[in-house]
Amino acid sequence: MSTNTDTQTTVSSTLSQRVATAAFGSLIGLFLIYGVGFAQPETIHNAAHDTRHAASFPCH
């Protein structure tokens, strides 16, 4: 019995689960990329300077 319901929830929630998981994962990824490549504060800019130039993010 319980086995059956488990299988059903796994299958039926798969797509929405995938979308939610992927959305959450890419948000973290984008946050990191933003910090390294785009954030404006001068200190962050200077610390990540060479990486910004090397990754061809617009820098100065």
CA distance 42 to 59: 11
Minimum CB–partner distance for residue 53 and another protein (Å): 6
Minimum CB–partner distance for residue 6 and another protein (Å): 5
Of the candidates 19, 21, 51, 22, the one whose C-alpha atom is nearest the C-alpha of residue 35 is 51
Structure tokens at 24: 């959450």
| Residue ranges binding another protein (CB under 8 A) | 3, 6-7, 10, 14-15, 17-19, 21-26, 28-33, 35-38, 40, 42-43, 46-60
Minimum CB–partner distance for residue 37 and another protein (Å): 7
